[in-house]
Amino acid sequence: MAANDGEKIRSLFAANASQAYGNGTAKSGEAFFRWLDSDIIQRNGRVENAQLTASGNEVVATGQYQSNGYSSQADFLFTVEDGRITSWRMRY
């Protein structure tokens, strides 16, 4: 994310990856990749001072999320299967 390499970022996710805010409804597959492009890659989204904690197939990323015109504390829960991220949940 720091290099804003869209191709590399997309390659980390499974074809049916999903994303949700809090307990909201997840978007997956093609809708997920549209969101990834518009909200993360095109806006230069990144986590500064990222701290990663892994347990089994889950990874929690915390730090300061920054993108063009937006900043907030990051608390992201990623689920990984077969070497690809299958779920990204923004936790509040």
Taking the chain (92 residues) in runs of 10, the rounded mean pLDDT of each run is: 93 98 96 97 96 98 95 97 98 84
Task: Catalogue all structural domains in the chain, each as residue range(s) with its CATH number.
Answer: 6-90 (3.10.450.50)
Give the per-residue pLDDT at 92.
74
CA nearest 1: which of 67, 89, 76, 69?
Answer: 67
User: How many angstroms separate the CA atoms of 1 and 66, rounded?
Assistant: 11
User: How many angstroms separate the CA atoms of 19 and 25, rounded?
Assistant: 8
Who's near 79: CB < 8 A, 6+ residues apart? 57, 58, 85, 86, 87
Size of the chain, expressed as the number of residues it contains:
92
